[in-house]
Amino acid sequence: MSAKAMEELPAQVPGEDFQALEEKIYRTIELYKAAKEARANAERDAERLREQIEQREEENQALRRELVQLRKDREDIRGRVERMLNQMESMAQEQAAS
């Protein structure tokens, strides 16, 4: 571009247009900052949620193991009670027979 054209360029851009452009640039910068902050917040939230899911999965696995153990214990106790009831029934029959 020639020196004459460079001198004419500022004259072609009215002050109001330049001010409007400047305002748009500042708004764009603010929007960018807000978007960047929103993204950082979303990433923090996502990480927090991942950690919560991991904790819930660990709790879920522990509860499943406990449930399996409780069911096994229940079956063991049921068997012992049935044996005791059978012994008591046998003793009652022996006494009735005597």
Measured CA distances, 14 to 18, 19, 24, 53, 92 (Å): 6, 9, 16, 58, 114
pLDDT-based confidence at 26, cuts 50/70/90? very high
Across 6-15, 21-30, 63-72, 78-87, least confident range: 6-15
The reported pTM is 0.56
| Per-residue pLDDT, 35 | 98
pLDDT, residue 10, reads 54
Distance of CA 60 to the CA centre of its chain: 15
Q: What are the tens digits of pLDDT across the range 63-74?
A: 999 999 999 999
